[in-house]
A and B are shown apart, each in its own frame.
Chain A
């Protein structure tokens, strides 16, 4: 099994002359549900290149979310090596991981996860608050990003005044506003109708290409996997 995983890693590393953005080697992760141990990931290895549009497909309980969480620096593996932007993640403390996420990783959640008390503008601006830019720069960046997702006119609205598709566009704008190296998207089209899902896929693809952002998208959606450059299939905690 490990041989196949290293093949995945080697293929990805070989596909680009640039240094991989993210590398996992023999990563394993277990957790407990009550008194029962669950091996969510078993010796997973992969590499993501800058600008790649990668799908992560697999049935429920296969370890997709666990792998996404580790790739997004939201969780740490029990064993194995994990590099992000040439940094050994295992050696970084929680604060440094938070700063790395803040500066280089965007998230698109299945349930949108917008902050209900903030307007569309403020939701998109939020990741920039945490950084050092001036208010003017932030406004400019939010304005550009909202225009790129076609929500410029709705900037003052609250999330509960938007449709599902519009909310997911806000979430994409929030993920991309800081021009991250990596966007982690967990089932971004799961709650959307076909037409809206297609729009969201097009939008992510287009913006990803324009900004050179790497996308790692967990999905069951064939429409999504068919648009990705590479599809990683995971089953029982192993990449196939």
Chain B
């Protein structure tokens, strides 16, 4: 305690210099926390987006993910309703929803384009929550009337190319599981935007029975299992894998190529920036303490003459570094939290990332783990830097130190 008090007094000895060092540390800490918080927000958003898009787990025929189908639905799931009920018995599962993937041509009578479609259960729209962007019309009906034409949702770019809008009739043309062509007139129920122009040019969503009718099958491609908590994904995969060994199971992460790419990119960018900032902070602390060491050489000699061990001299300087580091970390956390709050209240938008058409809000997560880890690193490295520069002072012969002018 005495040494800590002594170190604190020494930090306050040259207040302006210590203040500048703490300011550098504060800005550095805040920069790491804001950058890291933004990366965490991005990861969290993409994780949620990916999981809600594909389902936390995707259950399929054991060859579905590894082999190409010779004919449509060759590797489809039969008797999926029984499987669905069995999976949904688990309390950790919110829903297990079937999907049927297909592709074909879509035509407005004058123009035909390639589409990539999915037959879905309309409950998916509830599960997608805020990640579904309906730009015109509405989502598919919950209970489509048998006497009404089948409904379709089109991607924004596809609707634009077909000059379609809600209420427009168009035709879907696919190849059935038998290899013959099948066509169905459908009515546009709404237009959606997924934010990726290449997908919005091709995507078509229809009711599952509509897709089955088009492909002349009663199978589905996959069951998307939505869990109550994303964190349960791995455990549930292992459990379901053991219970249903005849099926292949992928997690949302296996399908989230964009998420993985962004995460790798951001980890490198923010990791490198973080290292650079930490190095700057450490240099600032080391420089301040190195100046203090030179200025206090004679005093160090006196303390050594009075019986202070070299280790105690180093400890004293290390405590000074720790105090500067802790002050930098505390003020840095406050500054970062204030910036996060400011961004939350003002709602700044980031421009669309490459390959995307939608921007996204610039939010910065306030993560206790990130704050604790960053503070710890800043404080400990400041202490280490101070310890490092004090070694010379501690090693210097006492007589030389006492004669220092």
* A residues with CB within 8 A of B: 69, 72, 74-75, 94-95, 98-99, 101-103, 107, 109, 113, 115-118, 126-127, 129-130, 174
Contact = CB atoms under 8 A, between A and B. Distances in A.
Contacts of B302: 107, 109, 113, 115
Contacts, number: 55
Interface in B248-288: none
A74 B12 CA distance: 30
B111 interface: no
Contacts of A126: 303, 306
A72 B13 contact: no
B298 interface: yes
A218 to B, nearest CB: 13
A152 B320 CA distance: 30
Interface stretch (B147-155, B368-376, B394-402): B394-402
Query: Secondary structure at chain B's binding surface: helix, strand, loop or mixed?
Result: helix
B298 A113 contact: yes
A117 B307 contact: no
Q: Which 4 A-B pairs have the closest CB atoms?
A: A102-B307, A117-B9, A113-B302, A74-B398
19 contacts: A72-B305, A74-B398, A75-B398, A95-B309, A98-B308, A101-B306, A102-B306, A103-B307, A107-B302, A107-B305, A107-B306, A113-B298, A113-B402, A115-B299, A116-B299, A117-B6, A118-B9, A126-B303, A129-B2
Contacts of A113: 298-299, 302, 402
A127 B307 contact: yes
Interface residues of B, number: 22
B312 interface: yes
A99 B307 CA distance: 6
A212 B308 CA distance: 25
Kindly name the residue among B304, B305, B307, B310 whose own CB sees the greatest number of chain A CB atoms within 10 A. Answer: B307
B307 to A, nearest CB: 2
Contacts of B310: 94
A113 B309 CA distance: 18
A101 B312 contact: no
B1 to A, nearest CB: 10
Given A69-B399, A117-B12, 10 more contacts: A74-B399, A75-B399, A102-B308, A103-B307, A107-B302, A107-B305, A113-B298, A117-B6, A117-B9, A127-B307
